[in-house]
Structure 1
Amino acid sequence: MDDQNKNLILATALSFLVILVWFVLFPPEETAPTTAPAAVTQPADAPAAVTAAQAQPEVAPVPEAPRLPIDTPKLSGSVSLLGGRIDDLSLKAYHQTIDPKSDIVRLLTPVGEPHAYYALYGWAPGGALASADVPGAATEWRQVGGDTLAPGKPVTLEWANDKGLTFTRQLAVDDNYMFTVTDSVANSGTEAATLQPYGVVARHGKPADLQSFYVLHEGVVGRTDGKLAEVKYKDVADLPEVAREGAQAEVTEGTADGWLGFTDKYWMTVLIPEQGKPYTAVVKYNAQSDIYQTETRLPVVTVAPGASTEVSSRLFAGAKEWETIRNYQNNDGIAGFIDSIDWGWFFFFTKPIFWLLHHLHGWIGNMGLAIIALTFVLKILVLPLAYKSYVSMARMKELQPEMEALKERAGDDKAKLQKEMMQLYKEKKVNPAAGCLPIFLQIPIFFSLYKVIFVTLELRQAPFFGWLNDLSAPDPSSLFNLFGLLPWAAPAHGTFLAMIFIGVLPILLGISMWLQQKLNPAPTDPAQAMIFAWMPWVFMFMLGSFASGLVLYWITNNTITFIQQYLIMRSHGHKPDIFGNIKAGFSKKQPEPAKGKK
């Protein structure tokens, strides 16, 4: 086996390994169906000042309460006056499917509905105050200002106890997905009141559409003093029991910046305490009621008679739009907020790749064309290294006659052959390993682009042309119905038939890899020849279930690589006999063994 074919085998094996990793090492986890817990009126939302008994959820029917509507350019829903909960929220710009008539995405749901998911704010009592003396989950607030929560139109709620404490809450929302919650308390009584403000995001059970892919993080996401934390639901459920919390919990003290909440693939709900001030971050799971919780607790305050105090915090509840989140980070001082998007291990690649893709899409207006343009840009950036690699491969071709002569002289003396080959490489200044360089470059780029296409919202339901109406999903066409010519539907994605009866893009991918191989004659070794003959078609079927945007990238990359390699080989005096190699590939005659071999 000559060194060039060794390099080709190694490069192909590396490519195969990259794809195989997703199917063997990191298969999707099977998600057990979750049963929605019974409705609760008092979730485990109490801060440290509340006893363990009070922190446990109380299972009971939820009484009806008045609601205030929410209406913004991007959000619709309502606020329940029971607890002042933000618990009914839908995203106007996003539909469940590519059908524009399908339901819009619902992010938050009230207690009493399946998979309840909501945000709640309150005050924990201290000193002589009891839990009934402060507003909590079961408090029914009184509306005193505003009728619809909208940008520039805040609403005001009020509640008073019989000890002279009057609590006021103002809710405001911007044009995107950020709520501002301003809580104040005035003390007209005769004794000082010790209180601790807090915010809670509670989730009853795991999400119904939890995907549980290794490459995707869903669960708790947060940042505390510059450190990012991502905790999957199964790991939250494995937290140690903390007696003081009355549940399984993890408590972290923050001093400078931070935020905490839950993230889905495309959406998230995150508590954001006032930046630059201390707070306590809590991740909690109550196994009895199957409630996952995140909390931010602000410092304890003491309100003297005749005095008042006010605290303000924010709540992000919406879509993980890169530009929107970046503006909150850069313009509103939420440090590290862009990292709420799951950039993965190769974040140093995924971030700039997405930045470039985002701007290309803005200039071109079509995400598929933007992916093609991105491929051209990436190929230009790595062209100097790729050029050296292709030149090395061309020089290896030029050395073939001398290599054959060396093999004939060395006979069966492999040590002598190896020594003379290395001397020949040194004299001709050829690096036999350089042919693998493009593959090594492709591995991190492939992983990064896979991540970008899989997790970023901007690729969700992004159309290309014709039948390709969602670049984040596999090619919907299928051999099963001759790409729509036969009067029956294609197999559903994820089924065995869908893996066998692939679509147009995977077939084009296989052809592009096959043509790229034909720049060189097939190896003389029958085993090598068989591996190379099957490899494009194995890749074709393996990548058939990948996002069509990624397959589009790979087809474009193969096409550019084919042209580059062809032109470089021509410039070094070697004219690839593509049609001759194709013809030889269909020949039933076995290739003649090289001289010197038995």
Structure 2
Amino acid sequence: MWEWFIGFLTTVLAGIEGFVGDWGLAVIVLTVIVRLILTPLMAHSTKSTVRMQVMQPKLQEIQERYADDPERQAEELRKVYADMKFNPLGGCLPIFLQMPIFFGLFSVVREVPADACFYSILPSISQSVQQVLEASGWVAAAPYIIFDLLFGVLTFIPMVMNVANQDSAQRSQTMLMGGVMALMMLWFGWGVPSAVLLYYVTSSIWQVIQQQVITKRVMEKAKAEAEAEAANKPIEVDVVRREKKPRQHKKS
């Protein structure tokens, strides 16, 4: 199945290259196509995230009141998810769908010609920063290093774009996680084919623009709808805690 997918992805990329005339641009076009296809799912994912935020106080209330009855707690949480039409895994689906393409490019670049390039910017999209640096020195590797830096920075930016809505503790934690992830991506990007960097950089730029232009509007609308729905359908929690029976002490 994986070999079939790699063959299909190679054919698609070669077809795009035949149309645009450049392998690096073909990777960018492929990325845009993938992101366009995933846009409806991303909008749905955003709505799911907003619904989760709106539901959080009610979920915490259920967790606290049913703390002594895990089975009833799970049942009531499922009812809330069903009433609010919330899927806890909805936000992960777009990421999971992109992963095969992201990792598939590692194999695809082995099938493209050795001189497959991104115009004169990246002479070979199958080589990594490390390979170019070792073979040709710092000057030749400079464009590759720039893409690797973008790889790290664009990992950090989307993670911290919503810190304004967080408290100071969450903000600090998000910034720390974003910094760690950016450093990890810099290290990871140093050794991957530049085609992978092209894909991720293009995808991340798309995400940043989409978040500014589309996501905010979707979030505002989804939040208003979720709050109105939650107000019209208040969750009634009728809990009878289990009585804690006193422990019997063994007679000495």
TM-score (normalised: structure 2): 0.69
Q: Which residue of 1 aligns with 2:125?
A: 471
Q: Tell me, yes or no, if the aligned pair for 1:403 and 1:421 is still in contact at 8 Å.
A: yes
1:537 and 2:179 correspond = no
Among 565, 568, 574, which residue is 2:215 paired with?
Answer: 568
* Residues 106-128 of structure 1, C-alpha deviations (whole Å, 9 max, x = no match): xxxxxxxxxxxxxxxxxxxxxxx
CA separation of 1:411 and 1:387: change in aligned 2, threshold 3 A: same
Deviation at 1:574, TM superposition (A): 6.8
CA deviation vs aligned residue, 1:456-484 (integer Å, no higher than 9, x gap):
133x2222245421111113799x9xxxx
Q: Displacement, 1:564?
A: 3.5
User: Take 1:518 and 1:411, find their aligned partners in 2: how far apart are those partners?
Assistant: 34
Higher relative contact order at CA 8 Å, sep ≥6: structure 1 or structure 2? 2
* Letter in structure 2 aligned against 1:440: F
Alpha-carbon separation, structure 1, partners of 2:139 and 2:50: 45
CA distance in 2, matches of 1:560, 1:525: 24
Instruction: Determine the structure 2 residue equivalent to 1:457.
Output: 112
How far has the Cα of 1:384 moved from its partner?
3.8
Q: Percent identity?
A: 26
Contact 2:102 2:199 in 1 (8 A): no
Question: Which residue of structure 2 aligns with residue 490 of structure 1?
Answer: 138
**Aligned amino acid, residue 358 of structure 1:** A
Task: Identify the match of residue 441 of structure 1 among 97, 114, 128.
Answer: 97
Partner of 2:17: 361
Q: Which residue of 2 aligns with 1:202?
A: none
Deviation at residue 420 of structure 1 after TM alignment: 3.9
The structure 1 residue matched to 2:200, chosen from 549, 554, 561, is 554
Q: Secondary structure, in 3 states, of the residue corresponding to 1:572? A: helix
Deviation at 1:569, TM superposition (A): 4.0
For 1:456 and 1:510, how far apart are their aligned partners in 2? 27
Amino acid at match of 1:506: D
CA contact under 8 A between 2:47 and 2:218: conserved in structure 1? Answer: no
Structure-1 residue corresponding to 2:159: 517
CA deviation vs aligned residue, 1:366-400 (integer Å, no higher than 9, x gap): 21111100111122233443433232223223334
Pair 1:350–1:427, CA change in 2 (3 A): same
Distance (whole Å) between structure 1 residues aligned to residue 69 and residue 158 of structure 2: 32
Q: Give, as a single letter, the amino acid of the residue that structure 1 aligns with 2:125.
A: L
Whether the aligned pair in 2 keeps the contact of 1:450 and 1:550 (CA below 8 Å) is yes
Q: Which amino acid aligns with 2:138?
A: A
Distance 1:372 1:491 in 2: 24
Aligned residue for 2:4, secondary structure, equals helix
CA distance in structure 2 between the partners assigned to 1:525 and 1:515 by the alignment: 13
What does 1:383-422 correspond to in 2, within 5 Å? Answer: 383-403=39-59, 405-406=61-62, 409-410=64-65, 415=70, 418-422=74-78
Q: Deviations over 1:396-426 (max 9, x none)?
A: 233344445556x549658365554333212
How do 1:165-564 and structure 2 match up within 5 A? 346-403=2-59, 405-406=61-62, 409-410=64-65, 415=70, 418-453=74-109, 455-458=110-113, 460-475=114-129, 489-490=137-138, 503-521=145-163, 524=170, 530-564=176-210
Q: Structure 2 unaligned segments of length 5 or more: list them.
A: 223-252
Distance 2:115 2:130 in 1: 13
Given the superposition, is the C-alpha separation of residues 402 and 573 from structure 1 closer, same or farther in structure 2, using an over 3 Å criterion?
farther
Give me the whole-angstrom Cα distance separating, in 1, the residues matched to 2:208 and 2:149.
Answer: 17
Answer whether contact 1:477 1:503 (CA < 8 A) is retained.
no
For the residues of structure 2 that align with 1:446 and 1:425, how far apart are their CA atoms? 31
In 2 relative to 1, CA 391–564 (structure 1 residues): closer, same or farther, beyond 3 Å? farther
Q: Is the 8 A contact 2:46 2:91 kept in 1?
A: yes
Listed one character per residue, the Cα deviations across residues 175-212 of structure 1 (whole Å, up to 9, x for unaligned) are xxxxxxxxxxxxxxxxxxxxxxxxxxxxxxxxxxxxxx
Which position in structure 1 is the counterpart of 2:232? Answer: none
CA distance in 1, matches of 2:117, 2:83: 53
Counterpart Cα distance in 2 of 1:377 and 1:477: 29
TM-superposed CA distance for 1:434, in Å, is 1.1
Contact 2:46/2:218, CA 8 A, preserved across alignment: no
Contact kept? 1:391, 1:569, Cα under 8 Å: no
Q: Write the distance in 1 (CA, Å) between the matches of 2:162 and 2:68.
A: 28
Larger strand proportion of the pair? 1
Aligned-partner residue type, residue 396 of structure 1: M
Distance 1:350 1:444 in 2: 9
User: Which digits, 9 at most, give the CA deviation of each residue in 1:228-259, with x for residues without a partner?
Assistant: xxxxxxxxxxxxxxxxxxxxxxxxxxxxxxxx
Tell me if the contact between 2:130 and 2:191 (Cα under 8 Å) persists in the aligned partners.
no
Question: Which has the larger helix fraction?
Answer: 2
How many Å separate the matches in 2 of 1:357 and 1:377? 11
Q: Which amino acid in the other structure matches residue 48 of structure 2?
A: S
Structure 1: state its 5+ residue gaps: 1-344, 481-487, 494-501, 576-598
State the number of aligned residues. Answer: 213
Higher Cα radius of gyration: 1
Q: Say if 1:467 and 1:476, in contact at 8 Å, map to a contact too.
A: no
Task: Mark the CA change 1:569 to 1:424 in structure 2 (over 3 Å): closer, same or farther.
Answer: farther
Normalised by the size of structure 1, how large is the TM-score?
A: 0.32
Partner secondary structure for residue 435 of structure 1: coil
Q: Distance in 2 between matches of 1:574 and 1:535?
A: 31
Partners of 2:149 and 2:43 in 1: CA distance:
28
